[in-house]
Amino acid sequence: MREDRSNKAKEEATATVSGIALRRADFSTLTEALDYAAQGCTGFNFYDGRGELACVLPYRELREEAIRLARRLAAFDRGSRVALVAHTHRDFAVMFFACQYAALVPVPLAAAIHLGGRNAYIRHLRELVRDCGAVAAFAPADFVGMLHEAAGDLAVAHVGTLEDFMALPAGTELPAPPAAHELAYLQYTSGSTRFPRGTMITQAAAMANLEGIFNHGFEIAADDRFCSWLPFYHDMGLVGIVLGCVATQRSVDYLATRDFAMRPRLWLKLIAQNRGTISFSPPFGYALAARRVRPKDADGLDLSSWRVAGVGAEMIHPEWLTNFAEALAPARFDPRAFLPCYGMAECALAVSFVPVGGGFEIDYVDAERLARSNEAMHASAGASERKRSGFVNCGKALPGFEVEIRDEAGRLLPDRRCGRIFLRGSSVMSGYFGNPEASREVLSEDGWLNTGDLGYRVDGALYLTGRAKDLLIINGRNVWPQDIEHLAEQQPELRATDTSAFSIVSGEGGEAAVLVVQCREMDSASAASLARRLRHSVQAELGIECLVDVVPPHTLPRTSSGKLSRSSTRKQFLERHGVERASDLAWIGKGFCAHHASAGASPVSARGADQEPGSAGINAT
Amino acid sequence: MRDRAEVEEVVRQALRAVRTEEVDVGAGDALGLDSTQAMELIMQIEERLDISIPVDTLADSRTFDQLCSGIMRLD
């Protein structure tokens, strides 16, 4: 945002009250939603890394500029994909809605670069631009050089900034606006390039979900105001905030994700100063803010206006929320504002919410019975912490959804029996773009979506207990083990069958990524060098810290069909090191183990070894 | 013109404040931080030197040396 500061600094943020009658996302398409919002005086406000207002984009201006730009995009065939580097920037919003008016399909791409990660990021962009078959690609000025490199050898007709696209010749007519059955956008479910899965969401699906969220998830009011630092390439940030606020005519105060990560206090300051009422974050955001806010910061803030503090996108660890509430109690933060929810990009965004104003609620169940027979029965009152597991109530599904919990054989399970969560409803995706095989794996012909999540129900309320799929969720970000394993295979010592990645519980309750590699006997110095290379490579490519364990050949367990089993590797790893969580590893400070440790270092099978990493909460997207 | 030795000292201090493990980072070594730590490092450097480090500089800063050189090139 810095480039905008000099000439726009004197503007005022958009008002909270729109001046037009509140409509709660009851539109059939996104262009209809913006056409209506543009009649009021609300809009987007972008703040810089110092918390100063850098740029204001009222919905009226957003609509006018998007239509002007749409005339320049109208030459592309209806339904073509346009890749958009989704930095938190006004130009992204303009491009996204220009695509809507031009009946094109925007595809938001990550705008996250890790230290020294230039080449990795360019490769990432290229893979996704290729996967979606984009005819054009946009990036704001800071990213456009890398986008040019990424798109260089692909058949992309036009690559550039908003100014570059504005310089294209304008057509006289706009195409007919998108119909309800046409695609509203493609959303990649993770940054994976080995495993790209672009969910196809129609206008009808997006609007059905927004309508459900803002009427039944939590009823939006005419004096609600949003504040958000969520990335625009994440479903919660894109669908929930960018599209949701247009569809409900709400003003938003935006902070770039990077600025939040550097100075979490700015998030709270913006809510306090603008009397924000609604803000969402993965649990990790609350944990980061609690860790970095000093007592004297909290004293100077007034967060009493914050009535909906949404929590989703990863496992909810109750203690993270409790820490946040305690740290911000002097700022009059009300813990009853916490609103756990569950969802995923495959359903546009949200599936379930708890009722507003109740805070979060934990169900304590008998851990042994859960592990033995998948029954989630109340733990006895005197049960020690080790004998019980706590799961957060994620609320009832929105009216548009049917929910089923099924066992491995596909049979329906009653309340308090843990199984796979299946969903059907009007906001479920049409499939993964260009990937019928992956689509068939999760979506049945009669419309049931296999979420890959495990959980149980009590009187309609959902409790998430873990994942059946091999996904890692690190700080709210989805990471596929295949991507980590692929990086590992680039090292000369390793072959494809020598690597296995998974996550275990970290010390703080989140997930820690682990990579186990097997290779022929080598001295400990060479093994240490391999481990260090692997850690750096994962850091530069994926931006996460990864624990590396180098083991002798033939250590990795295989299934009867000869395939490597990540869950068995994980179990074996925990047993080999005699721990239940990452913080207990003797070598945690170093981050790797290159001793070629022999199996059976600790024969005691830790109880937690059978449990999925996130056995205390939500795995929403 | 900023003083290279000063920049190096600031980056070294910031690294010490951010890293959880006790490792001496040599000039040509990768910084080895996850994205949360990296953001905290950048914040510390920005505040100590009163500068703003653009995305481009970060993208090219795999090692301690590269980061210091990137900062030296900023106005």
> Nearest to residue A68, comparing CAs of A181, A165, A206?
A165
**What rounded mean pLDDT belongs to chain A?**
89
More confident residue, B34 or A603: B34
Give yes or no for residue A239 having a pLDDT over 90: yes
| Top CATH class, A2-341 | alpha beta
**What's residue A559's pLDDT?**
67
Q: Which residue of B has its CA nearest to A48?
A: B52
By CB atoms closer than 10 A (0-12, 13-18, 19+), residue A168 is middle
Q: Under an 8 A CB cutoff, do B31 and A540 touch?
A: no
CB atoms near residue B13 (< 10 Å): 13
Residue environment code for A423-462, b if the CB has 16+ CB neighbours within 10 A, otherwise e: bbbbbbbebbbbbeebbeebbeeeebbbbbbbbbbeeebb
Interface of A with B in 133-152 (CB under 8 A): 142-143, 145-146
Least confident of A258-272, A281-295, A466-480: A466-480
**What's residue B49's pLDDT?**
92
Ranges assigned E (strand) in A43-115: 43-47, 53-58, 81-85, 105-109
More confident residue, A8 or A268: A268
Least confident of A170-184, A517-531, A590-604: A590-604
Which two three-digit tokens encode residue A451?
A: 């979420």
Please state whether A543 falls in left (phi above 0), alpha (psi between -120 and 50) or beta. left
What is the per-residue pLDDT across A46-63, written as a single tens digit (0 to 9) for each?
A: 999 999 999 999 999 999
Domain ranges of chain A: 2-341, 361-467, 472-610
Measured between alpha carbons, how far is A546 from A481 in angstroms, rounded to an integer? 11
| Top CATH class, A472-610 | alpha beta
By CB atoms closer than 10 A (0-12, 13-18, 19+), residue A12 is exposed
Give yes or no for residue A608 having a pLDDT over 90: no
Residue A541, phi then psi, degrees to nearest 5: -85, -40
What is the SS3 assignment for A326?
A: helix
B45 touches chain A (CB under 8 A): no
Give yes or no for residue B23 having a pLDDT over 80: no
**What's residue A285's pLDDT?**
93
**What's residue A2's pLDDT?**
43
More confident residue, A153 or B20: A153
Least confident of A304-308, A595-599, B6-10: A595-599
Measured between alpha carbons, how far is A33 from A246 in angstroms, rounded to an integer? 6
**What's residue A619's pLDDT?**
33
What is the SS3 assignment for A36?
A: helix
Give yes or no for residue A4 having a pLDDT over 50: no
Q: Under an 8 A CB cutoff, do A262 and B32 touch?
A: no
pLDDT band at B22 (very low <50, low <70, confident <90, very high): low
Which residue in A4, A115, A125 has the most chain B C-beta atoms within 10 A of its own C-beta, making it the best mutation to test that interface? Answer: A115
**What's residue A61's pLDDT?**
98
What is the per-residue pLDDT across A465-478, written as a single tens digit (0 to 9) for each?
A: 888 878 888 887 78
Fold identical between A2-341 and A472-610? no
| Top CATH class, A361-467 | mainly beta
pLDDT band at A611 (very low <50, low <70, confident <90, very high): very low
Measured between alpha carbons, how far is B58 from A121 in angstroms, rounded to an integer? 12
Q: How far is A113 from chain B (nearest CA, A)?
A: 6
**What's residue B1's pLDDT?**
67
The complex's ipTM works out to: 0.90
Q: Under an 8 A CB cutoff, do B39 and A261 touch?
A: yes
A and B: number of Cβ contacts within 8 A: 73
Long-range contacts of A161-165 (CB under 8 A, 24+ apart): A161/A91, A162/A69, A162/A91, A162/A94, A162/A95, A162/A138, A165/A69, A165/A72, A165/A73, A165/A95, A165/A98, A165/A136, A165/A138
Of B21, B42, B46, the CB nearest to A590: B21
Give yes or no for residue A592 having a pLDDT over 80: yes
Residue environment code for A265-281, b if the CB has 16+ CB neighbours within 10 A, otherwise e: bbbbbbbbebebbbbbb
Q: Strand A198-202 relative to strand A158-160: parallel, antiparallel, unpaired? A: unpaired
DSSP class per residue in A380-410: PTT--GGGEEEEEEEEEEPTTEEEEEE-TTS
**What's residue A48's pLDDT?**
94
Cα A383 to the center of its chain, rounded Å = 35
**What's residue A333's pLDDT?**
97
Give yes or no for residue B70 having a pLDDT over 60: yes
**Contact indicator for A56, A12 with CB cutoff of 8 Å:** yes
pLDDT band at A5 (very low <50, low <70, confident <90, very high): very low
Which two three-digit tokens encode residue A537?
A: 């490579």
Contacts of A544 in chain B (CB under 8 A): 34-35
